[in-house]
Structure 1
Amino acid sequence: MNEDKEVKVSTTDLDSGYMYREGKPEGFFYLDHRTVDVKYNLITDVFVTAGNVHDSVPYLSRLDRQRKRFGFAVEAVALDSGYLTTPICKGREERKIFGVIAHRRFHPTQGLYPKWKFTYEAERNVYRCPEQQELVYRTTDRHGYRHYASDPKQCAACPVLEKCTRSRNKKKIVTRHIWEDSKEQVRLNRLSKSGKRLYRKRKETIERSFADAKQFHGFRYCRLRGLRNATEQALMTTVVQNMKKIALHLERRAT
């Protein structure tokens, strides 16, 4: 029987969400998902969610909203590692947008081979282990992951079995999402010259935008409770930031 997942609820602000991330403060928060343009660093979109909503959840819908409302011809996007998901990578591909997303480091089980040690052969649709044994396709689950399994008889006699799997049946399973090719293309984009140049812009644009909001506009804390009030604070903060950016740009043009 599946047990219900425990969800922490604030007794003082029901709209907020409990956030836990490595290296970040833990507690009830709101998240401001914002987009800026690379040329002038103007904030083009603001969307506030509870703190337990993953960054990637609202992304594609907010991107489509900007394109539809403002007629933006989006050519490229640079995102942090929180957006490295197969739906976003696939969505970027479908929209014909060049995407650069930071690498996310996964920590494999200590003592076992990481997934990158297993080579995928697209022509034959198989994985090959470090000992050159094949893992063949078995099934696709409802979440879109293809399962590739080794031959337990071969694995039982393998000299490095303990570094590969700890399963009782001595079978190694490797999964691959049906949209994994889209994610791999994003990785290649990140390593290209144009991708590296685009990703460096993040420090000068979106990271600076958040830093300015926190440092100069009191955006470290919500002033009022409730999602509507948090959204209002975020919108008013970005209005002020944009006014300052526009004023500075007009001043430069006048000189």
Structure 2
Amino acid sequence: MLGRLDQQRNFFDEILFNHMLPADHPLLDIDRAVDFSFVEEETADRYSADQGRPSYPPEQLVRILFLAVWANLSDVQVCQQLRYNVLYRYFCRLGWEDAIPDDTTLVRFRQRLGEARWQRLLHRLVEQARAKGCLKGRWLVMDSSPVVAHAAARTRVQLLREGRQRLLQAVRQAAPPVAKELEALAEPVPDATYEDQDQLLQAEQERTEALLAAITSRQAAKAPAVRRVRKQVERVLKDERVASYADPEARWGHQRREKPFFGYKMHLATDETGFVLAATVTAGNASDLEGAPALVEQARVQGLRPRRLVADKAYDATRLREDLVRQGIRPYIPQRTQRQRLPKQGFTYDKRRRQWICPEGHRSIGQSPHQRGGWLVYFSERACRGCPRAGRCLSRSQTRKVLYWHPGTEANRPRGLKRALRVRTVIERTFGEAKQWHGLGRSRYRGRERTAIQVLLTCLVLNAKKMARRLQDARGSGHGKRRAMEWAAA
């Protein structure tokens, strides 16, 4: 049954909070700035209205999980802190005699809501920030950043060897005599037997397949534990991208070409002030473009109408530009290759005549649609043949200049792009804050969905901090113990 917060505190709690709360603290600013009552509205359908014992209030549990991310504490640590930290108890709406949820309750609640519900809670906080005038929303700033998995990556040979040992252990629990017969197949292939790693890998695969075949013909194969481990090993045999049994959804990715990581990618979209509007998580090997449509769609669903979007060159794709222009959003995205940057080559566009003009003053004579979108623009062969720039402008096979142009790239004028890239720095600060102060550089959990919930919770914390700062700036910077006492007595 849904439990609700008791808004009426007893006399002892009022005296305690009035005397023990600090004179000025960021957590008190957040408590005053953010109204968490929307949590009960969004989670009420997960509880029975009249059956069972009353649960811990959902708002209280969200506050505790919020506090854990804010202070970078584990579930166990935050429960320990709530036993004696007066400020934390006040923020979580716990009276001095109230029972404290244990860490298992927090884990079950976090998973019970699921990724979609946490996504909705983030959207509700964005709505509240809009209503209070805390975000602008004229720009949409997109980027991604790695989140290292909470598991060690293995080589393919190591995975096959570990998988056979896991299978043998599962069979041993179900049928010890059968496990005794299969011990030889579970042993690793001697490395010294093969000089070539590819041959060693092939031998390990053959031995693993032989063990699977031997188990399939036995009665022990029907045991639930054996079936579960067998599926994991078969997945490793079929999918070369799996690098861990502990977290099979994590993947190898590259933040830069020379800097690989194992885990996931968080994709965020902020406004021009760094307020997080949308978030999603993909495997580490996903491109930045895979997360872009979901971010734009989340912004649209929330009723946000940004007029400009800025992102780095990883988002340079014709399809994305077309979608943005179709939605009335002007893309400011650097192009991947220098050759595509027409303004930097000295080409200018005459909007009135709809013609491109080359550095020597020659105008384009026609254009045709390109299969990837955009246009191929043609210049006269006669003009190009006698041009002094022909050696630099044309390739060996070209007799005239042919350039590719997409309407979405018009936003990438040097002046406009330079200003837009200055706006883009806000999302780098957001990533830095999330990783340095809230532990988002590494996942606390295993699996994509659990990592996504951690990212969404961290975004809730980042937005709440920004709301508190902006409302505080709007009211003036004067704070004193009297105000803290007023909050405690409210």
TM-score scaled by length of structure 2 = 0.39
Contact 2:348 2:358 in 1 (8 A): yes
1:65 to 284, 288, 298: 298
What amino acid is the match of 2:441? R
Alignment of 1:81 onto 2:336: no
Q: State the secondary structure of the residue aligned to 2:279.
A: strand
Residues 152 and 43 from structure 1, CA distance in 2 versus in 1: closer, same or farther, beyond 3 angstroms? Answer: closer
Question: Partners in 1 of 2:357 and 2:471 — Cα distance?
Answer: 59
Q: Equivalent of 1:190, from 413, 416, 425?
A: 416
Aligned length in residues: 233
- Pair 1:220 & 2:441 matched: yes
The residue correspondences of 1:116-195 to structure 2 (distance < 5 A) are 116-152=345-381, 154-177=383-406, 180=407, 182-185=408-411, 187=413, 190=416
Secondary structure at 1:34 match in 2: strand
Q: Distance in 1 between matches of 2:353 and 2:308?
A: 33
TM-score (norm 1): 0.66
Whole-angstrom CA distance in 1 between matches of 2:472 and 2:398 = 71
Alpha-carbon shift at residue 187 of structure 1 (Å): 4.3
Say if 1:16 and 1:50, in contact at 8 Å, map to a contact too: yes
1:122/1:77 Cα in 2 relative to 1: closer, same or farther (>3 Å)?
closer
State the shift of 1:137 in Å.
2.6
Contact preservation (8 Å) 1:17, 1:53? no
Deviations 1:178-236 (A, max 9, x none): xx1x4424649937xxx95x875654x43322111111122222344432232133123
The structure richer in helix per residue is 2
CA distance, structure 2, for counterparts of residue 188 and residue 169 of structure 1? 28
1:9 aligns to 2:9 (yes or no): no
Cα distance change, pair 134–222 in 1 and its aligned pair in 2 (3 A): same
2:276 is matched with 43
Contact 1:90/1:183 (8 A) holds in 2: no
- Stretches of structure 1 that go unaligned for 5 or more consecutive residues are 1-7
Quick one: structure 1 residues 43 and 119, their matched pair in 2 at CA, closer, same or farther if it must change by over 3 Å? Answer: closer
1:209 aligned to 425, 430, 433, which one?
430
Runs of 5+ in structure 2 lacking a partner?
1-239, 480-490
User: Could you say what secondary structure the match of 1:35 adopts?
Assistant: strand
The equivalent residue for 1:107 is: 338
Aligned-residue sequence identity (percent) comes to 26
Give how far 1:176 is off: 1.1
Give SS of 2:384's match. Answer: helix
Q: Which has the larger radius of gyration?
A: 2
Verify the 8 A CA contact 1:100 1:190 in the aligned structure 2.
Answer: no
Q: Take 1:134 and 1:201, find their aligned partners in 2: how far apart are those partners?
A: 35
